[in-house]
Chains A and B, each alone.
Chain A
Amino acid sequence: MRLYVDIEKRLDPFRLQVKLDVGSEILVLFGPSGAGKTMTLQSIAGLVAPDAGEILLDGRALYRRHRPGSAANLPARKRRVGYVFQDYALFPHLSALENVAYPLWRKPGADERALALLRRMRIEHLADRCPREMSGGQQQRIAIARALASEPDILLLDEPFAALDAALRERLQRALRDVQRELGLVVLCVTHNLEDAFAIGDRLAVVHEGQVTQVGKVDEVFRRPADIRAAESVGLRNAFRARVQRATADGVGLDWDGLTLEAPPQHAVPGEDVAMYIRPEDIKLLYGDRAIGESLRHNQVEAVVTGRHVVAGFTSLFVKISNGHELEVRFPVYTYGGLALEVGTRVRLSLRREGLVLLPPPPSLDTFARVSIE
């Protein structure tokens, strides 16, 4: 199975321009709300028509307009696309079983097949319940079972985990991965949550104001955003500007407002200003009385703690370093037990050399400023 999408649609206030090539895999469409992700899914499903472009499934045109070849616009019912809507869109007048059996109308063995799907999602005990009597997680699983019942080639999911608690989220993600692999489906999953993207995505497409700014392996995109817009979309902290002093096969030397930094070898031109970032996880605190490991030898800086807060098992520490810039440092709450980290304390940090990533020049300084402030 191979889905090829190349569509344009005028939207207010931007223009949707999406190009995707998806195989039997889970591709995560990642980006902020209003970036055009849902519109992309609806175009593929045939619920809205783009202004121009092509949607091909294994070479068969689901949609084509203003492109070479005969125009096409298959109605949604003939596209073999399963769609899991953000608010599930279960039929409130039907029981769970009837919902799942909906696409199997008047087919022999419909109820047995629907029941088998409910069993597979581990919710067969809910067969006779109405949607309104079910929790969000249960409704979600009914919605996935119903989408699968139509035997789709493509499965589209719009923010499928948004309303679920952590444990359920994890179970459902595993179920989804299993289903994708077993049936060889083309799966597109919209999310604006990075953890979800990591948990289920084979690849990630960053969508920003209607454009796909980068497509790649999930960790690849996260570690090396193609540009500052992609970086902004994946919620990057600690972006700043520095001047390249030296670029050799051994590494890149940078001057960051008076601090000298060492980065791994990558493309850079000496004398040029570059945007760069380091993930908060890649900044380590150093104990004054302990030996420093080889990986933390470089890029040691003095800093003062200016703030800290704890979220989801991680401490975010905000520090002001000697050249006046602020950085965010992130680590699991159970680490650095021996260090005093109250506001005002002096600490020593190491910016892991391998974690320093140079970005292609930003489109404008304004975008850049927004990222660094965040």
Chain B
Amino acid sequence: MDWSPFLLSLRVTAVATGFIVVVGLALALLLARGRFPGRSLLEAVVMLPLVLPPTVVGYYLLRVLGSGGPFADQLSLNMVFTWAAAVVASFVMGLPLMVQSSRAAISNVDPTLESAARTLGSSELGVFFRVTLPLARRGVLAGVVLGAARAFGEFGATLMVAGNIPGRTQTLPLIIYDAVQRRDYAQANRFVLLMTALSLISLWGVRRLASSR
């Protein structure tokens, strides 16, 4: 059995999840605690990939990342049809789940505790890492797992912006589609079972996080 689609999927998911965690936490904090004009608009834009068809998101990414877009023109960085584009697609599709869950968890942390930490000498960064994050950890972890799972299973946007190039951008969901097209049901079965198992494990993980303590 050729494991390369699985390994590629892992690599794409790992990198995308890294970005999801960092950007998602910053956005969640901003949306939960920030008071600024345009907050609802920012929230709506971040959440948009949850409701838009993945092909629409993929199309936007194609225009932003492809030739004629700012990355290709100004930075001469054409990511389209590379695994980096798959990372971006997975990141954008997974981010809303992370933001949604973390933002709710951070909003639930009593702001008085953060005030207390400030009077006890903590900087804003210290307050976040020593008080807010530990208290919101369950929701944040659930957000990470859900976001990562979404990134792992990303299909439509990836197909639009990264293509379906065997060995380079062909992740698990894409090769399953490919296998069905070729009527290679043995291969499709193997990868479908693999993905189902992994998804079940992550859901079970989220349930455990939600019910612990």
Contacts and interface: CB of A to CB of B under 8 A. Distances in A.
A89 B121 contact: no
Interface string B106-129: 000010110111111111001000
B134 A47 contact: no
A103 B122 CA distance: 8
Contact of A91 (B113, B118, B126): B113
Contacts, number: 57
Interface string B23-48: 00000000000000000000000000
Interface in A44-78: 45-47, 75-77
Contacts of A47: 115, 118-119
A87 B122 contact: no
B51 to A, nearest CB: 35
B121 A85 contact: no
Contacts of A147: 119-120
A85 B135 contact: no
Nearest to A103: B120
A186 interface: no
Nearest to B120: A103
Interface of B is mostly: helix
A184 to B, nearest CB: 20
Interface residues of B, number: 17
A102 to B, nearest CB: 5
Contacts of A103: 120-121
B14 interface: no
A77 B121 contact: yes
A89 B113 CA distance: 5
Nearest to B112: A89
B134 A76 contact: no
Interface in A244-264: none
B118 A75 contact: yes
Contacts of A105: 121, 126, 130
A77 B116 contact: no
Contacts of B110: 89
Contacts of B126: 105
A92 interface: yes
A83 B118 CA distance: 10
Nearest to B213: A93
B131 interface: yes
A108 to B, nearest CB: 16
B135 A93 contact: yes
A92 B116 CA distance: 12
A77 B122 CA distance: 6
A81 B134 contact: no
A77 B120 CA distance: 6
A85 B131 CA distance: 16
Contact of B131 (A42, A91, A149): A91
A95 interface: no
Given A85-B112, A89-B110, A77 B131 contact: no
A83 B110 CA distance: 16
Contacts of B131: 91
21 contacts: A45-B115, A45-B119, A46-B119, A47-B115, A76-B115, A77-B119, A77-B121, A85-B115, A89-B110, A89-B112, A89-B115, A91-B113, A91-B116, A91-B131, A92-B113, A93-B134, A102-B117, A102-B130, A105-B121, A147-B120, A149-B120
